[in-house]
Structure 1
Amino acid sequence: MKKTILLLTGVLCVTLAAAQDTATRQFLNFHFQQTVITQYKPSFNAPYSGLNSLSTNEETQSSITSTLYGGARLWKGAEAYFNPEISGGAGLSKTLGVAGFPNGETFRVGAAEPKIYIARLYLKQTFEWGSEKDTLDDDINQLAGIRSKRYFSISAGKFGMADFFDGNEFSHDPRTQFMNWSLMDNAAWDYPANTRGYVLGATAELGQPGWTLRFAFTMVTTQANESTWDAKIGKANTQTVEFERRYSLSGQKGTLRVLAFRNNGKFGNYLQAIAQNHNAPDVDMTQQYGRHKYGFGISADQYLSNDFGIFAKASYNDGHTETWFFTEIDRSLSFGGVLKGKSWKRSDDELGLAFVANGLSADHKNYLAAGGYGFLVGDGRLNYSPELIAELYYKINAFQKKFWISPDYQFILHPAYNADRGPVNVFGLRAHVEF
């Protein structure tokens, strides 16, 4: 009888432990988001315009994206994620004429009709050690569970670089934070992506209690801002590395990230394009394998209280070869802050204000001044001055932290680095739902 009781007790303990483990480890999850952004700009003055200029006319445009997020735990340490997405609409002036474009949900796809595509499809394998644990919540592309603070993970497939890199606390996601392209990531990081912002490749991450080290190797498209992948991976590839240091300052958490990248592929050269044609240079006509673009970015975010935080970013790329993936920015500096609405009894609302200064390399500047065009900017000539941007938004919790409405205002001085054009005022309204 005594042995039977001990056996039953043992079975019960094992059963309870298994149940507890199942309760803390999520095996499937599904999430959804939809974001609609409408932006309006009044007319503004400009003595001339080119093929890639922001229209001087009054204009209103809207964009919409809807994403279904699915995650599954496969075997020990293995997870798979699948995100079908549909997007449509357009940016102001067909998403042309501003390097720090005001709507981070628009793409240079050339058509406003909604399109369905696979945003993400990747496998993640994690190896853990050590006794210190973190609790992971059920979230977008994250299964709830317990993970060691010491781990090594590898992810491979199709994903967005911003899923793993440059994750600033206050300035990273145009669906919920600042909308301007310059504030999504380090703006001078020409991060690998197709025209919709996703890439094929692999990334590795080494996690420790106070820091994380990341590395990615990805493919490159055959042309700038396109979607066909270059099969000559030995000649066309990118490498990105980032070190993240987490710390506490006066009891408030902060993070510092340092990122470096090198892009390799069949890129055109600005100086060579000018040498070939002084009056109408075409950088695409100088493309050849063996070209590179390298650069770095520094990003910091710091809470000053439970309800107020600040951030700053600085980034640079060499600017000798044409912009291939993101936007035509070779130097960028940004800073700002986000305040929660607790002091006016709206604790789930937030107010954000940020300032940006974007610049070009000498080669890039001379190319545009000679009448050259990139895939995003080019007025036919150039009276160069840094592109200066300010953005202010107020995010309203409209329904149970699931539906948000955000009025937004952006002031753009010297759009596309041209002191002869603007300034431009952009008024926006964002509706975002997630569950």
Structure 2
Amino acid sequence: MRSARLYASLCLLLAPLVLHADDARLWIPQWLGAQYTFVDQHQDSLHAPYSGDMSLRPQGDTERSHTFGAYFGVALPAHFQFYLDMEMFKGEGVSGATGLAGLTNGDVIRSGTVSLGKRAYVARRYLRWTLPLGDDAAPIERAQDQLPGEEATRHIEVKIGKMAVNDDFDKNRYAGSTRTQFMNWALFNNPTWDFAADTRGYTEGLMLAWVNPAWTLRYGIYRMPTEANGQKLIDALSEAQGQQLELTLQPDPQGWALRFLAFRNTASMGIYREAIDLALATGQVPDIRANDQPGRMKYGFGLNGELPLADGGDTGLFMRAGWNNGRTESFVFTEVDRMLSGGFQLSGVHWGRPQDHFAVAWDVNALSRDHREYLALGGNGFVLGDGALNYGREQILEAYYSFAPFAHVTLSPDLQLVHNPGYNRDRGPARFVGLRAHLEL
């Protein structure tokens, strides 16, 4: 462990000295990029006859968030690569980043069960290895966690270390980055997919992939947190783990894509029905955390599609659908048991600004019967808890315009409208206006 930290520190120290990151030579640390994202978001006041501990603030709120990142990599012998990413977060989300299943600023880190502080931290630290399965190769451009060069179009890929699960699974060209595309949590990921992560969104584990020109099969197993929305991860995969399997079909790299995702989590989680039955028997408010027991499972499925229409793929459609068993406690990402979303991106080439684009999307989130009864009885999750519930599906509409005034900078005005926030017909609608500034080098 000490030698690994020393090596990572050496990479970080030497990386700024490398002037030509596009010449990825062995043993030479490469600076792959840096980013800064600023979000200023305002939540209007909303109709709210009652509120709970985790409700949207009825009087409204305005908050700002900042994220900083620097990304490094080094090519090693025998097709190995090592990556190290440093990040820092400052600021808050509106209403404390609670009160919605589809939270409105995906760049916000929830406070969780511990104080995370505002210092720089290691976001990713992992080793990547590829095994070519043929002679055909394609050029690879420099990008975050991607060294430039060539890579076999057919290969085996292995990643081990600290990473974000959604770096490799549930990707979508039109709705996959909260820093440049849709900001709502229900649009840049499938919210029914409760993927393993700490409060900041990272974990440790292993990813295996069999990559082919027309299809890819991926499997990942990762450490789960010790408690819902917790920062500490379980030490042993034998005690708790998050597993996912995804098949991607994409006959043409620039054409349509379909991804089929399945996941299963094992951790110390609660069962909504058991928490409800105990509360009804004792006359108390149900508490899902008090029902946590090791070895319980949560599983689900997701579908993810993208369809380029024109402009070299810069204009196109996307959709997602998801389902999880809804019986076991929502544990990591957010509180959604069923969802359906779809959207459209239009290239700015049609009005003489090829670097700009306009996008709009719609999402519907739903809960299982047990999950909604738990909230109706006054129970709290880790993002929801109005103290009561008049259930209705949470419906989200988001639109943004990405304006590139000059190279490396985008400004994105963003509008979001949420009906039945937190699945509650008695509250809302909730309106959000935001401005995002993103610098990427």
The residue aligned with 1:149 is 153
User: How far off is 1:24 after superposition?
Assistant: 7.6
> Does 2:309 correspond to 1:304?
yes
CA RMSD of aligned residues (A): 1.5
- Equivalent residue of 2:422, what SS? helix
Distance 1:162 1:252, change over 3 A: closer
- State the AA in 2 paired with 1:336: G
The amino acid across from 2:388 in the alignment is R
SS of equivalent residue, structure 1 residue 277 = helix
CA distance in structure 1 between the partners assigned to 2:365 and 2:88 by the alignment: 31
CA distance in 1, matches of 2:369, 2:395: 18
Q: Does 1:173 align with 2:173?
A: no
Pairing 1:406–2:408 present: no
Q: How does the TM-score come out when normalised to structure 1?
A: 0.92
- In the alignment, structure 2 segments of 5+ residues that lack a partner are 1-21
3-state DSSP of counterpart to 2:177: coil
Cα deviation digits, residues 138-171 of structure 1 (max 9, x gap) = 1111011111111001100000011111111100
Distance 1:104 1:199 in 2: 18
Aligned equivalents of 2:395, 2:138: Cα separation in 1: 41
1:92 & 1:23 partners in 2: Cα distance? 43
Structure 2 distance, partners of 1:233, 1:165, is 20
State the partner residue of 1:430.
436
Q: Secondary structure, in 3 states, of the residue corresponding to 1:271? A: helix
Shift of 1:58: 2.5
Deviation for aligned residue 1:133: 1.2
CA shift for structure 1 position 28: 3.9
Q: Please give the alpha-carbon distance, in whole angstroms, between the structure 1 residues aligned to 2:109 and 2:275.
A: 26
1:417 to 415, 419, 423: 423
Whether the 8 Å contact between 2:24 and 2:30 is mirrored in structure 1 is no
Q: Aligned-pair distance for 1:289?
A: 1.1
Number of the residue aligned with 1:259: 261
Name the CA distance, whole Å, in 2 between partners of 1:336 and 1:310: 6
One-letter amino acid matched to 1:344: W
238, 243, 250: which is aligned to 1:239?
243
Q: Percent identity?
A: 39
Contact 2:24 2:74 in 1 (8 A): no
For the pair 1:223 / 2:230, whether they are aligned, the reply is: no
Pick the aligned partner of 1:211 from 202, 209, 215. 215
Equivalent residue for 1:282, pick from 287, 298, 313? 287
Match of 1:322 in 2: 329
- Alignment partners' CA distance in 1, 2:257 and 2:42: 35
Greater C-alpha Rg:
1
CA 1:121/1:112 → structure 2, altered by over 3 Å: closer, same or farther? closer
- Alignment partner, residue 8 of structure 2: none
Q: Which moved more, 1:27-36 or 1:416-425?
A: 27-36
> Counterpart of 1:179 in 2: which secondary structure?
coil
Give the match for residue 16 of structure 1.
none
Contact 1:296 1:316 in 2 (8 A): yes
Task: For residue 130 of structure 1, give the secondary structure of its aligned residue in structure 2.
Answer: coil
Q: Which residue does the alignment assign to 2:163?
A: 159
What displacement does 1:108 show?
A: 1.3
1:76 Cα shift? 2.1
Query: Deviations for 1:157-206, whole angstroms, at most 9, x for unmatched residues?
Result: 00001111111110010000000000111110001100000011010111
Q: Distance in 2 between matches of 1:177 and 1:354?
A: 11
Deviation, structure 1 residue 25: 6.2
**Displacement after TM superposition at 1:235 (Å):** 2.4
Tell me the matched-pair count.
411
Match of 1:5 in 2: none
Contact 2:84 2:124 in 1 (8 A): yes
User: Which 4+ runs in 1 deviate beyond 6 A?
Assistant: none
CA distance in 1, matches of 2:75, 2:377: 55
Query: Which structure has more strand as a fraction of its residues?
Result: 1
Checking the alignment, whether the CA contact within 8 Å between 1:89 and 1:112 is kept in structure 2 is no
TM-score by length of structure 2 reads 0.91
> CA–CA distance in 1 between the matches of 2:373 and 2:332?
21
